[in-house]
Chains A and B, each alone.
Chain A
Amino acid sequence: MDFSFTEEQEMLRKIARDFLSTECPKDLVRKIVKDEKGYTPELWGKMAELGWMGLVIPEKYGGIEGSFLDVAVLLEEMGRAALPGPFFPTLIGSLAILEVGSEEQKKGLLPKIAQGKLVLTLAVSEPDVGYELNALQCQATADGKEYSVDGTKLFVEYAHLADLVLCAARSKDNSGQQGITLFLVDAKHPNLTVIPIDAIAGDKQFQVTLNRVRIPQGSILGEVHKGGEYLQKLLQVATVAKCAEMTGGAQQVLDMTVDYVKQRVQFDHPIGSLQAIQHHCANMLIDLEGMKYVTYLAAWKVNEGLPFGKEAAVAKVWTSEAYRRISDLAHQCHGAIGFCEDHDLPLYSKRAKASEFAFGDARFQRQLVAREIGL
């Protein structure tokens, strides 16, 4: 058993932390959150130079060929910095292409992704569907060799910046998880409409409507009708990745709270010397410790190619609720100052809520856990 990160991972962590604290200070984050673009090309370009978009991409496609644990380390630091932008959906899209893409798709797309020249996003949820793939309604109709896709997708991150939308649609009727196909849809297709959702955390989410969007053969990702099974796994990987990002955010929330309660004096004592505050902080640390190790366990299993469905669900249940509890206690310890819009804390506590819903909230994930324990 070994809970430590490798030297390379520690180095990656340090580089990422230093870079993000310089290049992505909170004032910039606040500016980006309010701006409708939701990212800056300068920051995106510098991240690409560091090789981050190609972290999981094999060298032969222009990437660095890092491991999933490396990704977890990077995502933790991104969560810690509250980094805005389309890194996360692009990463998930690139994992999908890596896993089921054709050689042609890999050769054509992965080098561009690694260079930061291609933004991807994932379109699964719909107005009446969260992540229950059996219920997907978006329809793909065969039309000669092509497919025509109709439907509405919700919570598609950074769709306005994306080059390609990885869209899950039903290619066979009434067949549950069977009969789903994944399509790489040109985000600039004239029959595709992108409408922003005014989301609480300022992360850029969109409703994407597809109206007879014709998809050529070459843009089908993986096998026709067999996207469901793979999508399930992709969503589980994304869940673990999201947990890593949330863990970094929660660490930052705890760190800023500890700093604050050491300095803030009330009635002649730093409030951090009061037992009530100490117990709040201790509870935050206990929750955070839990977040870390269930997330690392799941990420390690992904890395090793071991089954990780249960671990991913466990991590998301715990992480969703623990991050929220940590944010709540941080607000209680900060008092009114943390309630101000210009304070850093709301950047995190709002994101905690948004992340809680991403890839299925605790209630959804608990059902998966219930199946795993034989209920």
Chain B
Amino acid sequence: MDFRFSEKEEALRAEVRQFCQKENLESFPCEIEDEGYGFGGWSRAFTRKLGEKGWLGITWPKEYGGLGRSVMERFVAAEELAYHRAPQYGHLFNDAVGAGIVAHGTQEQKSEFLPKMARGEIFWSTGLSEPGAGSDLLNTATRAVKNGDDYILNGQKIWPTGAHLAEWSLILARTDPDAPKARGLSTFLVDVRSPGVTVNPIIDMAGAKSFNEIFLEDVRVPKRHLLGQENRGLPLVFECLEGDRFWGRCLRHAGSWRDLEDLVQYVNEAKYDGRSLKEDRVLQDTLAEIAVELEVCRMLSYKAVWLLNKGSSISWESSVVKVFADELGQRMANVGLQVLGPQVQLRDNSKWASLRRRFMFLYNFNRGLSLAGGTSEIQRNTIALRGLGLPRS
């Protein structure tokens, strides 16, 4: 057992830290504000900056614009960026699709997409859920019918994050309606500027424009943009989502640790009802509890990334990370509001206004995280079935 990072990993961490300290992180325009995942907003400009460093495709083969570095190194870099609130979220959009293309793409697909993704020039969203089927991908109704050298896609997708900013989308569609449900689905790399594609942003309760609905009406997708084998789309998607669940949540501890530091500073300086907040034993307990949970969250992430790094599956471990991180995010946001008091509702310019706005946003936004990417209930099913071997219902 050894919980140290290697010298190489520490060197990368130091490099990323220096980069964060040198760049004026707040100066990058964000297309989507901080998403509450704990890793900053979505900034096209900053993502390109990461691309220049090679960190977007950090684990990808060098021939496709990557750095060929380890999964652990990617994690260390991402952890450091998250702590510094770098608007790195766009980086993670690439992941599910990037991993899918690296693992299952044709030579041509790899050359076409990976280098541009690694430079931060093109962005992806994933079109999986549908209005009638949220986490239940077996009931995907979007159809893809072969027509000469193309497939013609028809259907509707909902909840893809950032689709209004992305150029491309990974779409799951039914290619064989007669096959058993799990065996008739395929994945397509779809140019969202193709004729017949309509993307409508949906405003969430935090006021953020982050996810969307996508309408597909006789959309022509060339055969060369079928990812993986025809009718084998579902296992491919599950494989990608396993990583997505992890990368989408594994930085909660790093970003939230920074938030906790802010709250501690606030408590040490602020007064309410004529008393110093720092003398409030209940507040001390509450914040200590959050610190404990962030440590647990950190170790759960470390365990999962250690498994990933040595090439093992994290089929249920990623669900553990997701459930824990999402529910902790919600508890923490609520604790933040309790600490900051009734003025969290105000958007004033007082000393602590930015902290208040941040926690109010997190409180609203984090509500969605235990729904996005598979609800916590779905994750618990996965943990029970795969982690504990319980029988299917």
Contact = CB atoms under 8 A, between A and B. Distances in A.
Interface of A: 1-6, 69, 254, 258, 261-262, 269-270, 272-275, 277-279, 281-283, 285-286, 289-290, 293-294, 296-297, 299-301, 311, 314, 317-318, 363, 366-367, 369-370, 372-375
B385 A375 contact: no
B392 A366 contact: no
Interface of chain A, main secondary structure: helix
Highest count of chain A CB atoms <10 Å: which of B261, B289, B309? B289
Given A2-B2, A286-B383, A318-B296, A373 B288 contact: yes
Contact of B288 (A274, A286, A375): A375
A374 B390 contact: no
A363 B84 CA distance: 31
Given A278-B381, A278-B390, A293-B300, A370 B5 contact: no
A282 B387 contact: yes
B302 interface: yes
Nearest to B301: A293
B391 A375 contact: no
B72 interface: yes
Contacts of B2: 1-2, 300
Contacts of B49: none
Interface in B1-35: 1-6
A279 B264 contact: no
Given A5-B1, A261-B390, 10 more contacts: A1-B6, A1-B305, A282-B383, A283-B380, A314-B291, A314-B292, A363-B285, A366-B289, A366-B292, A369-B288
A319 B267 CA distance: 27
A258 B389 contact: yes
B3 A300 contact: yes
Nearest to A295: B299
A353 B174 CA distance: 53
A369 B393 contact: no
Interface of chain B, main secondary structure: helix
Contact of B268 (A278, A300, A366, A375): A375
B163 interface: no
A357 to B, nearest CB: 17
Contacts of B303: 3, 289, 293
Contacts of A282: 323, 379-381, 383-384, 387-388
Interface in B292-319: 292-293, 295-296, 299-300, 302-303, 305-307, 309, 317
A91 B268 CA distance: 41
Nearest to A257: B388
Highest count of chain B CB atoms <10 Å: which of A261, A278, A281, A301? A278
A281 B1 contact: no
A69 B3 CA distance: 13
B390 A273 contact: yes
B387 A285 contact: yes
Highest count of chain A CB atoms <10 Å: which of B72, B309, B385, B391? B391
B377 interface: yes
Given A258-B390, A262-B391, A1 B4 contact: yes
Nearest to A284: B388
A373 B324 CA distance: 21
B284 interface: yes
A221 B154 CA distance: 80
B278 A281 contact: no
Contact of B296 (A261, A294, A370): A294
15 contacts: A1-B4, A2-B1, A261-B390, A262-B391, A278-B390, A282-B387, A290-B324, A294-B299, A318-B293, A318-B295, A367-B284, A367-B285, A369-B292, A373-B264, A375-B288
Contacts of B380: 278-279, 282-283
A258 B287 CA distance: 34
B296 A293 contact: yes
Given A273-B392, A366-B292, A370-B284, A297 B299 contact: yes
Contacts of A363: 285
B77 interface: no
B362 interface: no
A249 B287 CA distance: 28
3 closest A-B pairs (Cβ-Cβ)? A293-B299, A278-B384, A282-B380
Contacts of A281: 383-384, 388, 390
Contact of A289 (B72, B320, B381): B320
B292 A317 contact: yes
Contacts of B393: 269, 273-275, 278
B300 A289 contact: yes
B189 interface: no
A363 B285 CA distance: 7
B296 A290 contact: yes
B303 to A, nearest CB: 6
A375 B264 contact: yes
Contacts of B250: none
Interface in B33-63: none
Contacts of A294: 295-296, 299
Highest count of chain B CB atoms <10 Å: which of A6, A282, A311, A314? A282
Contacts of B381: 275, 278-279, 282
Nearest to A287: B296
Contacts of A262: 389-391
B260 interface: yes
Contact of A318 (B287, B292, B306, B385): B292
A60 to B, nearest CB: 26
A188 B107 CA distance: 80
Contacts of A261: 390
Contacts of B296: 290, 293-294, 314, 318
B239 to A, nearest CB: 21
A373 B260 contact: yes
Given A1-B306, A258-B390, A317 B289 contact: yes
B5 to A, nearest CB: 6
Given A314-B295, A375-B284, A375-B287, A293 B384 contact: no
A366 B299 CA distance: 18
